[in-house]
Amino acid sequence: MGGSQAADDLIKRVVRYDTIPITSILGIAPSLTNNYRYCVYSRVVDFDYYIHGFSAPFSNVNVQVKITDIDARDAWVPFFTAGMQVFFGYFSQASPILKLPEPYVLPCGHRLQFELQNQTGFAINNAYITVIGARSTQEC
């Protein structure tokens, strides 16, 4: 026996990827139209979700992003001024996932809200967000 608490906690987690399409109310294929603001949500989690990073299959510095844990009212960018590389890194890199300095724990019953605004001057196709993390094996 005699294992550390951190090792025991790690064993009780399962890797999880959640992909969220960014679509308009028209339900057209995932894309970001120029000068439109989009608001999409992750699913409500029924477990503690340890978020380690984010990825998106496009890279553009002129897409502004705000991420909020809407149940805790914690806005990660309070004034909608961060470019997408702040959260998602660069898709063209060997490892396009931008890891957080430490995992953000999204508590059971919470969900994330993503607000994006395309300011590029053109539409961006294939617009998805992927949340990378580990879930607790214990449900609420």
pLDDT per position as a tens digit, 50-80: 998 888 887 666 888 888 888 876 666 555 5
Q: Where are the domains of the chain?
A: 5-139
Q: Is the pLDDT of residue 21 over 80?
A: yes
Q: Is the pLDDT of residue 3 over 70?
A: no
Separation CA 89–CA 6 (nearest Å): 28
CA 35 to chain centre: 21
pTM of the complete model: 0.78
Q: In this structure, which CATH number among 1.10.287, 2.60.120, 2.60.40, 1.25.40 belongs to the domain 5-139?
A: 2.60.120
H helical segments located in 36-130: 85-88
